[in-house]
Amino acid sequence: MKHRVVFAGLAALAIVVSACGGSSGGGKVALLLPEKQTARYEAADRPFFEAKLKELCPDQFKEYIYNNAAEDATAQQQQAEAAITAGAKVLVLDPVDGEAAGKIVTDAAAKGVKVISYDRLLKGGSKPDYYISFDNEAVGRLQGQALLDKLTADGKTMAKVIWINGSPKDNNALLFAKGAHSVLDGKVEILKEDAMANWKQEEAQQIMEAAIAEFGKDGFDAVYVANDGGAAGVYAAMVANGVDPKTKPITGQDAQVDAIQRILTGDQYMTVYKAIQPEAELAAQLACKLVKGEKITDTTVAVNNGTIDVPSLLLTPVAVTVDGAVAGTKSVKDTVVADSFYGADTVAKICTPDFAAACTKAGIQ
């Protein structure tokens, strides 16, 4: 992937939406999400997309189509075909398998259906119309840099790292790994690098169980793991094997509630906060314009998917640690709490009785 233009993060929020207020065009909008294990899709991507579509394109919202493929690429292909048969003219597609889903895009294009590649890049020889995501290599760099800074602060040179990537079917996972490697290679010793085949917590847990068995409880210093679901698995494997997670920094991504709670107690070192609301709302704005046949002038960067340069919008991720003391990271309080990331009851969701003391210590109430 190459970025032609450096994009100024949330400036994309300044997107002009007034053009969406006109008469209703023909055709429906479909949102197709990839999985249910990771909290973000059903808890954030979907409701934020729907609320924005309802606001901007109320007529199309009445007929809007939603499906979640639950990590099954074949099911996703069928969901896309069914949506097109039912009259979808715009697919907002977050692919389970970026290569395999190329067929969905090519078939859609043959029928005049537009496709927005949502969060994960569509590949497989296809020509998606637009791409909306975060700067995913930057996600990996933030993970790698925060981990390196922590290990250095702890006096560890050439620290021994267990490394767990996301699903190889997801282009994002490749970018997260690329970004993290660009920071950590040559500065840590990578004992073992593996991947969650389907982004599942239990896959990370099994990899970590095997790593502890192979290298011993004290045979490693830290764990690079691509997201918070994986971090939960790594944490569980450590606890089950008598390893104190407070002594082995674990990375993450998504700023999930359970990860933020572990960060507050010191059981996970960091996460990457990606504000899903603007990402989902931008997708809804674009879908609304496209279904009405309006001109799109909002993209700011071109991302090559192996076939074409896809007009794109990339948002900026933020590294989160408990107090933001490590340079380049921000505190829990200044990110997910300040933004009410989990809704109006964000503090209540984080600061359950077990975490009340840790919340007070972090100045969250």
Question: Is residue 105 within a helix (H) or strand (E), and if so which, with residue range?
Answer: helix 102-110
| Cα–Cα distance for residue pair 329/231, rounded to 1 Å | 18
- 52 touches ligand BGC (CB under 6 A): no
**DSSP-derived pairing of the beta strands 318-321 and 271-273:** antiparallel
- Of 335, 343, 364, 336, the residue nearest 352 (C-alpha): 364
- 335 touches ligand BGC (CB under 6 A): no
- Of 117, 172, 198, 331, the one binding ligand BGC by CB under 6 A: 172
Nearer to ligand BGC, 60 or 201 (CB): 201
- 227 touches ligand BGC (CB under 6 A): yes
- DSSP category for residue 316: P
DSSP output for 336-355: IITTTTT-TTHHHHH--GGG
- 135 touches ligand BGC (CB under 6 A): no
Residue that has been written with the tokens 């921000």 in this structure: 330
Which residues on neighbouring strands pair with residue 334, listed in sequence order?
Answer: none
Nearer to ligand BGC, 129 or 254 (CB): 254
Nearer to ligand BGC, 133 or 331 (CB): 133
The runs of H, that is alpha helices, within 161-250 are: 171-184, 201-215, 228-240
- Of 199, 220, 273, 341, the one binding ligand BGC by CB under 6 A: 199
- 35 touches ligand BGC (CB under 6 A): yes
Binding mask 81-120 for ligand BGC (x = CB under 6 A): --------------------------------------xx
The runs of H, that is alpha helices, within 292-362 are: 346-350, 356-361
- 298 touches ligand BGC (CB under 6 A): no
Nearer to ligand BGC, 60 or 205 (CB): 205
Count other Cβ atoms within 10 Å, centred on residue 262: 25
Nearer to ligand BGC, 132 or 183 (CB): 132
- Of 130, 137, 72, the residue nearest 105 (C-alpha): 130
Q: How far is the CB of 99 from ligand BGC (least distance, A)?
A: 14
- 203 touches ligand BGC (CB under 6 A): no
| Cα–Cα distance for residue pair 164/253, rounded to 1 Å | 13
Size of the site for ligand BGC (CB under 6 A): 12
Binding site for ligand BGC (CB under 6 A): 35, 38, 40, 119-120, 166, 170, 172, 199, 227, 253-254
